[in-house]
Chain A
Amino acid sequence: MSQTSKRTTRNWKTYLLMIVIFAIGLLVGKMNIDGSATIVGDANRYQKSAALESTADNNVSFGSVATIKRRPFNGQVHTVNDGESIQAAVNQAKAGDMVKVMPGVYKETVYIDKDDITLTGVIVKGEWPVLDGEKKLNDAILYSGNNFTVENFKITHYKGNGVMGQAGNNFIIRNNMIIDTGVYGIFPEFGKNGIVEYNVLTGIEDAAIYVGMCDNIHVAHNQVFGNVAGIEIENSRHAIVENNFAHNNTGGILVFITPGLPIKTTYDVIIRDNFVIDNNHENFGAPGSIVAGIPKGTGILIMAGDEVTLQNNVITGNNNAGIIITDHGHAANLTLDPEAEPNSDKIAILDNVMYNNGNEPVNEVKALMLTKLSNRGPDIIRVGESKESCILNREKYLTFGIDEFGTCAFDSTYGTKTYLLEKPVEPRKITAEERGKLAYYGICAGCHAYNVKMVGPPTQVIQALYMENPQGIVDYITNPVKKRDDYPEMPPQNYLSEEVRIAAAKYMLDVKK
């Protein structure tokens, strides 16, 4: 993939490189490295279950549905009809509530900065609720709350993202149609334990489904086509990408470490049972974006990701290469990050179906394949270091650079059904007293010291005044009035929740120094 985007500016270099690589290739060919006799990888990398061995039925994951448990619904339902504002309903909603959106066209950005909200579209006789950004609005749905569900929306013509999350855990994003929305279709970031399933996405100029800096993720049963990248797992761990249909993107499925991000690893990723077909779309990525460097015709691209296992995918008709395994050094538009390990290590290519790939390889790939005396692009190509990687049934494929891969010690990932957590991620456990302490020191102490006068009267004085009456403090700080000539009037602390206010008041009455 690497040199492609530099092709125009570095033509002569490319040709030089081709010659050098050709020479090296011949040399390597003669050395005849063959790792097939070496067994590589921990045979117990994936769970084994007794049931697997007994019934053939369990031996496939197709149709299996991973779930995140939600609490039984006993919230309120807020219904939004065509012509009304979804955001207004979200603002009304409390944790645990559901916002139901009836068919209609909604032209707004909906943001959800609270926990436990379900945003659900109602589809009536094939009519969907449509979020339409009219090429003017930035994002359709932004969320930061935990336990967020969004489903059954058609989202189109936004400039930024369809659905974007920052730091919400236990998210479910399912059954949405996201069409021509700009940069990313579905983009959860900094989240733990999330599902992206049954979505259809097309016309996205970067990754249609982009999982960035997340953990414990399940991406399944989505259809992505006509995008620059279909599905991208980036700087994330413990992810399964299964049963998706990625076709006619520039690149089908990507597993990346992108340098320069605060979380710097990608590992433990399973890509299985996907159809990765004819990903030959012209690259229409924004100049300078990392995906702008992806050569069209790329089925699966692994860059710097570790412990990535590919099993039972159907990878066909990708005109450059079926699978590319590379490192940061060979990638375009990238700055090396000294804190990010640049190689793709411990890659395992188990049994997959691959044919008819490499009909029109890009020049760099073509040059490499010439060393193998082939005019076609490969099913599998590896450039850059890849330690402890392995493959099964290597003789089935046209390959480059994987001769030294060992033979995998395991042949299935199906024992590992999901990396979703058994119990949803809970908020940090914190007692009311601790919360009171955080508020007291984090806020009250700005004006009240224990026994000296600061902006407000000392805590000791307040203790004498409100002995055993924390509610009195709460009432006062919620709606303060000027009491003392020698002190400024206190600003209201009503931005703190009732719970925090009472906890802070109790702590203030108890504090001893």
Chain B
Amino acid sequence: MNTRRYIDSFLVLSIIVFSHALSADSNLPIQFKTIPATQNSQDDSAFTLSVNCPPGFENIEQKCHLRSLYQQYDSLYDKGVGGLKTALPTVRDGFSPQQIDLGRLLFFDPLLSGDNTLSCASCHEPDKGFSDGLPRSIGANQVDVGRASPTLWNVAFLSNFFWDSRAHSLEEQMLGPLYSEKEMATTPVQLINELNNNKTYQRLFRQAFPNGQSAKITLQQIYTSITAFEASLISLNSRYDHYAHGYHQALTENEIEGLNIFRSFVARCAECHTPPLFTNQQIAVLGSPEPPGRELDIGAEKTFNNPDLRAGFKVPSLRNIVKTAPYMHSGRFENLRDTVEFYTKGRGHAVPEGEKLLLHWHIWEPDLTERELDRLVDFLGTLTDESFTPKIPQKVPSGLPVNVGQNITKKIKKYTSVRGEKP
């Protein structure tokens, strides 16, 4: 594991070094797969970066620091797991308002993809819980990327990223989608050149990184900005949170019943989806089914080179979970009712024949009643809070269209025709 981290950080490092080499010589040939954006040659003064921190953050000397009522509490070993009045895991904060706001523009800008059609927001849409409503995301050239887009809410508290836990920082994580041929399919060379050729971005990066060593935009600055924006997506003021902080009227009787089922040792949900983040960030082998016709995804077996973790995936947070259907790593379940039902249909009932999975010990046969399943779904509905949803920019510095939420119908059509399967 440690070795792996070293290798990963070495990779990140080498890409950064590489980028510096590039910025010193920007005359390298660049191949655009499509026509580059039109308005990139002139500085558009309409774009300014916010000097204020987003909601949820206190501005101390131009650094944004998270403030949450959960900071009234402690947690054992600062792990951020426990019960209702438990502190959160260590937060990633301290970015400047400008970095966060620049990250917002980058996040919604299709300039970041190889063919300038996809932005981060194509698969992480604000009104879909920063997921995309698809069983598995559709990347460049309409390719099924193989796994479901995870929510970005509260990623500031996570220490593992991707379903198979193969990255350990947001910066490291974004290298995956940015450069994967199946996803955004750009390259470090293309990315850095396109941004450096854009006068507006040049100015905005100088604002966000006033102490930058190079006059050119660096890859590291891009990663930092996007990280800063992603880490600002905080959702901690749901009705559940009102209950947790002591206002017990916040939940209905049915929802409290659901909470008690959720944390009971029969359903055992809270053993892995541990409050306050509703994940313990560990890997669990559930033996959940793949959509019809899809082979078993080996998940974390590959990351850790450990067959015991075959088909193991990171426990996802459940905050804003009602917004992110369909569910599980490959979107097997259309709704929460079917998802919670999976856990009571028998230990290993969906494991393909001939597969031997070392199922997590909390996967057992709780014999939940129909009523209990309904109450669990009721409870999951209390974890919704989108009060800090950031503004979607109407336009982005590249001049490319901000297509959040518009691509999706096209994509779904594509999905149905390509896969012959309802998403």
Q: Do A and B bind each other?
A: yes
Residues of A in contact with B (beta carbons under 8 Å apart):
91, 109, 111, 113-114, 138-139, 142, 144-146, 159-161, 164-168, 182-184, 187, 189-190, 192, 213-215, 260-263, 286-290, 333, 335-336, 338-339, 427-428, 430, 435, 437-443, 445-447, 449-450, 452, 454, 494-497, 500, 513
- Shortest Cβ gap from B376 to chain A (Å): 12
Q: Does B359 contact A (CB under 8 A)?
A: yes
Q: Does B306 contact A (CB under 8 A)?
A: yes
Verify B58–A437 contact, CB threshold 8 A. yes
Provided the pairs A263-B79, A441-B57, A446-B388 are in contact, do residues A187 and B361 lie with their beta carbons within 8 angstroms? no
Residues of B within 8 A of A146 (CB): 85
Specify which of A113, A261, A335, A445 is in contact with B306 (CB 8 Å cutoff). A335
Provided the pairs A144-B83, A144-B85, A438-B67 are in contact, do residues A446 and B347 lie with their beta carbons within 8 angstroms? no
A290-B365 Cα distance, complex, nearest whole Å: 15
Provided the pairs A263-B79, A437-B67 are in contact, do residues A450 and B308 lie with their beta carbons within 8 angstroms? no
A249-B67 Cα distance, complex, nearest whole Å: 49
Specify which of B2, B236, B274, B304 is in contact with A442 (CB 8 Å cutoff). B236
Provided the pairs A167-B84, A167-B85, A335-B308 are in contact, do residues A139 and B246 lie with their beta carbons within 8 angstroms? no
Verify A495–B250 contact, CB threshold 8 A. yes
A146's closest neighbor in chain B, by CB? Answer: B85
Specify which of B1, B246, B283, B364 is in contact with A289 (CB 8 Å cutoff). B364
Provided the pairs A335-B306, A496-B247 are in contact, do residues A142 and B260 lie with their beta carbons within 8 angstroms? yes
Q: In chain B, residues 237-275, which have Cβ atoms closer than 8 Å to a Cβ of chain A? A: 237, 242-250, 256, 260-261, 263-267, 270, 274-275
A421-B282 Cα distance, complex, nearest whole Å: 30
Verify A428–B266 contact, CB threshold 8 A. no
A451's closest neighbor in chain B, by CB? Answer: B52
Q: Does B111 contact A (CB under 8 A)?
A: no
Specify which of B84, B264, B275, B361 is in contact with A333 (CB 8 Å cutoff). B361
Verify B364–A286 contact, CB threshold 8 A. yes
- Shortest Cβ gap from B311 to chain A (Å): 12
Verify A288–B364 contact, CB threshold 8 A. yes
Contact with A along B65-86 (1 / 0, CB 8 A): 0111101111111010111111
A446-B57 Cα distance, complex, nearest whole Å: 10
Provided the pairs A161-B265, A438-B68 are in contact, do residues A287 and B260 lie with their beta carbons within 8 angstroms? no
A500-B312 Cα distance, complex, nearest whole Å: 42
Contact with A along B342-372 (1 / 0, CB 8 A): 0000010000000000111101111100000
Verify B265–A183 contact, CB threshold 8 A. yes
29 contacts between A and B (CB under 8 A): A109-B264, A111-B256, A113-B248, A138-B260, A139-B260, A144-B84, A145-B85, A159-B366, A160-B266, A166-B82, A166-B270, A183-B265, A190-B82, A214-B76, A263-B79, A288-B363, A289-B361, A290-B361, A335-B358, A336-B308, A438-B69, A441-B67, A442-B67, A442-B69, A446-B55, A446-B237, A449-B55, A495-B249, A496-B247
- Shortest Cβ gap from A261 to chain B (Å): 7
Verify B247–A495 contact, CB threshold 8 A. yes
A47-B73 Cα distance, complex, nearest whole Å: 32
Verify A139–B81 contact, CB threshold 8 A. no
- Shortest Cβ gap from B1 to chain A (Å): 4
Other than the given A111-B256, A437-B67, 8 more pairs (CB < 8 A) read: A145-B85, A262-B281, A335-B308, A428-B73, A441-B55, A441-B57, A452-B52, A513-B59
A439-B242 Cα distance, complex, nearest whole Å: 12
Q: Does B284 contact A (CB under 8 A)?
A: yes
A189-B256 Cα distance, complex, nearest whole Å: 20
A441-B54 Cα distance, complex, nearest whole Å: 10
A447-B264 Cα distance, complex, nearest whole Å: 36
Verify B69–A443 contact, CB threshold 8 A. yes
Q: Of B71, B264, B267, which is in contact with the most chain A CB atoms at under 10 Å from its CB?
A: B264
- Shortest Cβ gap from B348 to chain A (Å): 8
A501-B239 Cα distance, complex, nearest whole Å: 17
- Shortest Cβ gap from A151 to chain B (Å): 21
Residues of B within 8 A of A182 (CB): 265-266
Verify B266–A159 contact, CB threshold 8 A. yes
Residues of A within 8 A of B280 (CB): 261-262
Residues of B within 8 A of A335 (CB): 285, 306, 308-309, 312, 358
A144-B256 Cα distance, complex, nearest whole Å: 14
A137-B249 Cα distance, complex, nearest whole Å: 23
Verify B81–A190 contact, CB threshold 8 A. yes
Residues of A within 8 A of B261 (CB): 138
- Shortest Cβ gap from A362 to chain B (Å): 21
Residues of B within 8 A of A338 (CB): 1-2, 304
- Shortest Cβ gap from A256 to chain B (Å): 12
Residues of B within 8 A of A446 (CB): 55-56, 237, 387-388
Residues of B within 8 A of A450 (CB): 52
A335-B286 Cα distance, complex, nearest whole Å: 13
Q: In chain B, residues 383-411, which have Cβ atoms closer than 8 Å to a Cβ of chain A? A: 387-388
Verify B285–A442 contact, CB threshold 8 A. no
A437-B60 Cα distance, complex, nearest whole Å: 13
- Shortest Cβ gap from B68 to chain A (Å): 4
Verify A139–B264 contact, CB threshold 8 A. yes
Q: Of A213, A335, A452, which is in contact with the most chain B CB atoms at under 10 Å from its CB?
A: A335
A491's closest neighbor in chain B, by CB? Answer: B387
Verify B263–A166 contact, CB threshold 8 A. yes
A145-B73 Cα distance, complex, nearest whole Å: 12
Verify B270–A441 contact, CB threshold 8 A. no
Q: What are the nearest 9 A-B pairs in CB distance?
A: A167-B83, A167-B82, A441-B67, A166-B83, A144-B83, A138-B264, A338-B1, A160-B265, A495-B247
A8-B283 Cα distance, complex, nearest whole Å: 28
A290's closest neighbor in chain B, by CB? Answer: B361
A167-B366 Cα distance, complex, nearest whole Å: 23
A338's closest neighbor in chain B, by CB? Answer: B1
B74's closest neighbor in chain A, by CB? Answer: A428
- Shortest Cβ gap from B278 to chain A (Å): 13
Residues of A within 8 A of B245 (CB): 495-497, 500
Residues of B within 8 A of A142 (CB): 260, 263-264
Provided the pairs A437-B67, A441-B57, A443-B237 are in contact, do residues A260 and B73 lie with their beta carbons within 8 angstroms? no
Q: In chain B, residues 278-320, which have Cβ atoms closer than 8 Å to a Cβ of chain A? A: 280-285, 304, 306, 308-309, 312
A169's closest neighbor in chain B, by CB? Answer: B74
Provided the pairs A166-B263, A427-B73 are in contact, do residues A113 and B84 lie with their beta carbons within 8 angstroms? yes
A184-B363 Cα distance, complex, nearest whole Å: 16
A108-B67 Cα distance, complex, nearest whole Å: 38
Q: Of A139, A165, A447, which is in contact with the most chain B CB atoms at under 10 Å from its CB?
A: A139
- Shortest Cβ gap from B207 to chain A (Å): 18
A440-B71 Cα distance, complex, nearest whole Å: 13
A310-B377 Cα distance, complex, nearest whole Å: 47
Specify which of A160, A214, A445 is in contact with B55 (CB 8 Å cutoff). A445
Residues of A within 8 A of B308 (CB): 335-336
Provided the pairs A138-B260, A260-B282, A442-B67 are in contact, do residues A114 and B82 lie with their beta carbons within 8 angstroms? no
- Shortest Cβ gap from B60 to chain A (Å): 10
A93-B233 Cα distance, complex, nearest whole Å: 37
B363's closest neighbor in chain A, by CB? Answer: A288
Verify A138–B266 contact, CB threshold 8 A. yes
A138-B263 Cα distance, complex, nearest whole Å: 10
A397-B284 Cα distance, complex, nearest whole Å: 41
Residues of A within 8 A of B55 (CB): 441, 445-447, 449, 454
A339's closest neighbor in chain B, by CB? Answer: B1
Residues of A within 8 A of B260 (CB): 109, 111, 138-139, 142
Residues of B within 8 A of A183 (CB): 265-266
Q: Of B76, B260, B281, B359, which is in contact with the most chain A CB atoms at under 10 Å from its CB?
A: B76
Residues of B within 8 A of A91 (CB): 248
B389's closest neighbor in chain A, by CB? Answer: A446
A475-B260 Cα distance, complex, nearest whole Å: 33
Residues of A within 8 A of B82 (CB): 166-167, 189-190
A249-B403 Cα distance, complex, nearest whole Å: 63
A433-B99 Cα distance, complex, nearest whole Å: 29
Residues of A within 8 A of B237 (CB): 442-443, 446
Specify which of A214, A262, A428, A497 is in contact with B79 (CB 8 Å cutoff). A262
